[in-house]
Structure 1
Amino acid sequence: MAEETGLFIYGIVPSDVEPTPDAEGVGSPAGEVVAIRYDDLAALVSEVGLEEPMGRPADLTAYETLLDGTAAVAPVLPVRFGTVVTGPDAVEDLLAAHRDEFAAALAELEDRLQYTVHGRFDEREMLTGFLAENPDAAALAQEVRGRPEAESREQRIRLGEMISQGVELRREAENAALIDALTPYAVAHVARPPSSELDAVNVAFLVAGDAEEDFIRAVEDFAEQRRELIRMRLLGPLAAYDFVGAHQLAE
């Protein structure tokens, strides 16, 4: 009995966008990526087995690689990862039902890309600076130093809470400073939730093509000013994952 298949939808693009011949889709083996068109829109899709498990790291990589590569040459609206429909008719129905909404969103993303600025505190530098600025915490740290954990458990818990609060407050300040520094070079921004307790900054920015160099230079300046305290990473250019309702497009 032949395996039932469906179409995995990656994103919505203008109708004149063509997948590159070497574009690889999700699944094993990887499906061929094609464009299904309706009016002035198209959806990038590939065939997948309906019984095939989805969500492997390789699948997510293929999804992001396709969307990020497309975003480098044309506007693209990412569709929520894992969206699978029954066939071409269902894809065309989706495009028809949301035609005006998709077209307007694509127009807004013309010549714009996402960059994500992510940074984590150096734990030693963060702790040293926090204790230097907080006499009560420093005294508590001195009190528990060298004492058995069981004997100083309450003090250690209190110290941990103080440090955690200090990290959170510093994170808020650093995110605000980052947004303030980069807003002149970005069209929009979205503060993202921390991915670890040591996260210092995590903000997505939508950047116009003619501002990319200035934006990257501003990120480098920000990172240099904090190079001892924060290990910064600039991710991009990316598809505009944080600036479209990607999770709603195919619901």
Structure 2
Amino acid sequence: MDAEQGVYLYAVTRDEGGEPDGPAGVAGAPVRRLAHRGLAAFISTVSLQEFGEESLRRSMEDLAWLEEIARAHHRVVEAVARRGPTAPVRLVTVYTGEAQVRELLDERHAQFDEVLRRVSGRWEWGVKAYAVAGPAEPVAETQDAAPGAAYLNRRRAALRGREDGWRRAAEHAQAVHEALMDIAVAGTRHRAQDPQLSGRREQMVLNGAYLVDEARAAEFARVVEDPAERGVTLELVGPWAPYSFAALDHDGETAYGDAS
């Protein structure tokens, strides 16, 4: 391989043969299969002028560039996952050559094997819950209340109402999470997204990811209703490749960097 080229890694599966039949990878690069010891790594050749260590430090600050790479990465991983159990790797994992990818498959062979067993026949679903604003608490005002005091009373009542509503929403979101965990094989609660990232004005009170058997997907989805009258609205997203349940630590000398 040319010294100015590197290898971008998307995902690892069991080697079932056959070349990938799916979308192009990052920067429009073709995706190919690298088989080694019963595993298959799905990779692309990329330019180190764009994906080298120094370039990536600058590019990671470019949100438009990062979003484009993330979309391409996701499309490839989803196409690979439709073939069979898949262990996605972190976004922007780049190696200097195929030899280092083979070293990874050697060194982490047992871990990849365990992950692939765990996710076989299962998909990741996401559930988000948002607090729904309730009616403002009524404030009793006397005729002789000063305007300033009346305003402060209304402000205090509004704050109490929001705090009580958020607490009820958080309690219900926890109950929903527990009900989903009764069905899911595994689950995790991610950090709640800021409204600027979620695109919603409501406060997020649950950002959960769940690994669910295909056979129980419909049962899982039925738990996610829209019980706004109980203080939350729920959103079901997926199914996806099991990103939250297949992560391996790829930090080290072989990888230039990642964004997770």
**TM-score, normalised by the number of residues in structure 2:** 0.74
Tell me, in whole angstroms, the C-alpha distance in 2 between the residues paired with 1:162 and 1:118.
24
Partner of 1:15: 15
The letter for the 1-side match of 2:237 is L
Tell me, in whole angstroms, the C-alpha distance in 2 between the residues paired with 1:33 and 1:163.
54
Partner of 1:90: 100
After superposition, the Cα gap between the structure-2 partners of 1:193 and 1:139, relative to the gap in structure 1 and judged at 3 Å, is: farther
Tell me, in whole angstroms, the C-alpha distance in 1 between the residues paired with 2:168 and 2:83.
38
The letter for the 2-side match of 1:14 is R
| Superposition map of 1:56-95 within 5 A | 56-95=66-105
> Is residue 210 of structure 2 the alignment partner of residue 205 of structure 1?
yes
Give secondary structure in 1 for the equivalent of 2:85: coil
Tell me, in whole angstroms, the C-alpha distance in 2 between the residues paired with 1:194 and 1:66.
27
Shift of 1:77: 1.2
Tell me, in whole angstroms, the C-alpha distance in 1 between the residues paired with 2:192 and 2:165.
11
> Is residue 247 of structure 2 the alignment partner of residue 242 of structure 1?
no
Residues 29, 44 of structure 2: 8 Å contact kept: yes
Residues 5, 49 of structure 1: 8 Å contact kept: yes
Residues 12, 79 of structure 1: 8 Å contact kept: yes
RMSD in angstroms over aligned alpha carbons?
3.2
When structure 1 is superposed on structure 2, of 105-114 and 58-67 the one drifting more is 58-67
After superposition, the Cα gap between the structure-2 partners of 1:20 and 1:170, relative to the gap in structure 1 and judged at 3 Å, is: farther
After superposition, the Cα gap between the structure-2 partners of 1:208 and 1:49, relative to the gap in structure 1 and judged at 3 Å, is: same
> Is residue 109 of structure 2 the alignment partner of residue 106 of structure 1?
no
Give secondary structure in 2 for the equivalent of 1:83: strand
**TM-score, normalised by the number of residues in structure 1:** 0.77
Deviations 1:144-171 (A, max 9, x none): xxx89xxx79x96x77875675465345
Tell me, in whole angstroms, the C-alpha distance in 1 between the residues paired with 2:178 and 2:166.
18
Tell me, in whole angstroms, the C-alpha distance in 1 between the residues paired with 2:96 and 2:46.
10
Tell me, in whole angstroms, the C-alpha distance in 2 between the residues paired with 1:3 and 1:89.
13
Tell me, in whole angstroms, the C-alpha distance in 1 between the residues paired with 2:3 and 2:160.
57
Deviations 1:217-237 (A, max 9, x none): 222xxx233378544321111
The runs of 5 or more residues in structure 1 that have no matched partner are 133-137, 141-146
Tell me, in whole angstroms, the C-alpha distance in 2 between the residues paired with 1:192 and 1:178.
15
Shift of 1:108: 1.0
Tell me, in whole angstroms, the C-alpha distance in 1 between the residues paired with 2:190 and 2:206.
9
Shift of 1:88: 0.6
Tell me, in whole angstroms, the C-alpha distance in 1 between the residues paired with 2:229 and 2:158.
25
Deviations 1:80-111 (A, max 9, x none): 11110011101000000111111111111110
| Superposition map of 1:1-251 within 5 A | 4-16=4-16, 18=18, 20-27=20-27, 30-52=28-50, 53=59, 55-122=65-132, 126-128=133-135, 131-132=136-137, 139=139, 165-166=163-164, 169-196=167-194, 198-219=203-224, 223-226=225-228, 229-246=231-248, 248-251=249-252
Shift of 1:6: 0.7
Deviations 1:102-132 (A, max 9, x none): 111111111011000113234xxx142xx44
Residues 20, 32 of structure 2: 8 Å contact kept: no
Give secondary structure in 1 for the equivalent of 2:191: coil
The letter for the 2-side match of 1:106 is L
After superposition, the Cα gap between the structure-2 partners of 1:4 and 1:201, relative to the gap in structure 1 and judged at 3 Å, is: same
After superposition, the Cα gap between the structure-2 partners of 1:165 and 1:228, relative to the gap in structure 1 and judged at 3 Å, is: closer
For these two proteins, the number of residue pairs brought into alignment is 226
